Amino acid sequence: MKTLGNKTIFENIGEILAPEHTLLVNWDIQNGLVKNIFNREEFVSNVKKLTGKSRDKGIPVLYTKITPLPFRYMASASIYSFMKRFGVDDPSKLPVFMAPGSDDAEIYHEVAPEKDDYVLNKHTASLFMGTNVDNMLKNAGIKTLIFTGIATEIGVETSVRDAGTLGYYTVVASDSCSSHSKEMHEASLKSMSAVSTVMDTESIIKTLEKK
């Protein structure tokens, strides 16, 4: 570690991933998304291993869930995006994406939350927009966020960039993230490597095992 004025600066991945100031974010690992990703078996296996190791090391785990707002309270640009996604030209024909209580909305059973994990219902593609998460993390002394989840190029990347702007160290578990598109997933990982530490799940676990 180095210091600059009153700041302590971590210099290596071991310091960045110290369990006492790290939190694992399992982003939108919901049935309706898991069934459409390109690497489901590998993805689920890696998330299970990393989540288990995090719990073993006392690292808190936060799950997010897409929780849609009623159309009345949704931005028109968001509705337009859903129209493109579902291929409809009439917004009144839109289904409710990840409708609360539906099977699609539930977190995938193989990586389900446990009693000490926190589940965040949120309405945007950012961990921080419209939530109290920044305040929660700072109250808990969290400095580093490990990210897994779906989709790499949407919510994961948005949240990683927002986290960096807010002053957090970020680590992206490259093979514990996924998308419907392998090409977009890989492009997003390359893009995030400019602002975050991107490494595979096994390397993260080996770092944690030294703690």
Q: Consecutive 10-residue runs of the chain (211 residues): their mean pLDDT?
A: 94 97 98 97 98 98 95 93 92 90 96 97 96 98 98 98 98 98 98 98 97 80
Look-up: residue for tokens 């299970």? 48
Instruction: Please give the radius of gyration of the chain, using alpha carbons only, rounded to the nearest integer.
Output: 17
Residues 6+ apart with CB under 8 A from 92: none
Nearest to 156 by CA among 58, 47, 11, 4: 47
CB-neighbour burial class of residue 38 (10 A; exposed 0-12, middle 13-18, buried 19+): middle
Nearest to 126 by CA among 79, 159, 149, 172: 159
User: In the structure encoding, which two tokens stand for residue 102, read together?
Assistant: 């539906």
* Strands ordered across the beta sheet of 169-178: 118-122, 61-66, 22-27, 144-150, 169-178, 197-199
pLDDT of residue 205: 98
Residues 6+ apart with CB under 8 A from 120: 62, 63, 64, 65, 127, 131, 133
Nearest to 144 by CA among 4, 7, 14: 14
Nearest to 108 by CA among 65, 54, 154: 65
Other residues' Cβ atoms within 10 Å of the Cβ of residue 1: 8
pLDDT of residue 85: 87
Q: Any long-range contacts for 129-133 (C-beta under 8 Å, 24+ apart)?
A: 129/162, 133/62
